[in-house]
């Protein structure tokens, strides 16, 4: 289980790094600070919601339910990223 959690953690870390890069790559040069601020605000809200949701998932479905739910959210993030235009303007 620890090996699986380590692999999952690496995937989440890479996804987070790509997400941070995309925020900067797709930002209008005049609005970078605004977009980064919004990113951090949304990230904090997402972490709060994720923490609460993981607690509910753990209570109802155990650790396996938490991991499947997290994997689903990572998949959604990958699909959204793939839908972005290839070249940031």
Residue 67 CB partners (closer than 8 Å, separation 6+): 4, 8
- Give, for 34, the enclosing helix (H) or strand (E): helix 32-82
Q: What is the pLDDT of residues 56-89, one digit of tens each?
A: 999 999 999 988 998 998 899 889 888 888 765 5
pTM more than 0.85? no
Task: Write down the pLDDT at residue 88.
Answer: 55
Q: What is the pLDDT of residues 13-64, one digit of tens each?
A: 998 888 888 888 888 888 888 888 888 898 899 889 989 998 999 999 999 9
Residue 70's alpha-carbon distances to 12, 48, 88, in angstroms, are 10, 14, 28
Q: Which of 6, 2, 9 is nearest to 74 (CA)?
A: 9
Task: Write down the pLDDT at residue 65.
Answer: 92
* Residue 15 DSSP code: H
Domain ranges of the chain: 31-89
Considering only CA atoms, give the Rg of the chain.
15
88 within 8 A of 25, measured Cβ to Cβ: yes
């Amino acid at each position: 289980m620890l090996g699986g959690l380590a692999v999952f953690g690496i995937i989440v870390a890479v996804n987070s790094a790509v997400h941070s890069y995309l925020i900067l790559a797709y930002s209008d040069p005049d609005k970078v600070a605004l977009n980064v601020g919004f990113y951090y605000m949304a990230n904090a809200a997402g972490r709060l919601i994720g923490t609460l949701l993981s607690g509910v998932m753990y209570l109802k479905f155990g650790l396996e339910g938490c991991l499947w739910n997290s994997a689903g959210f990572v998949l959604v993030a990958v699909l959204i990223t793939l839908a972005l235009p290839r070249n940031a303007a």
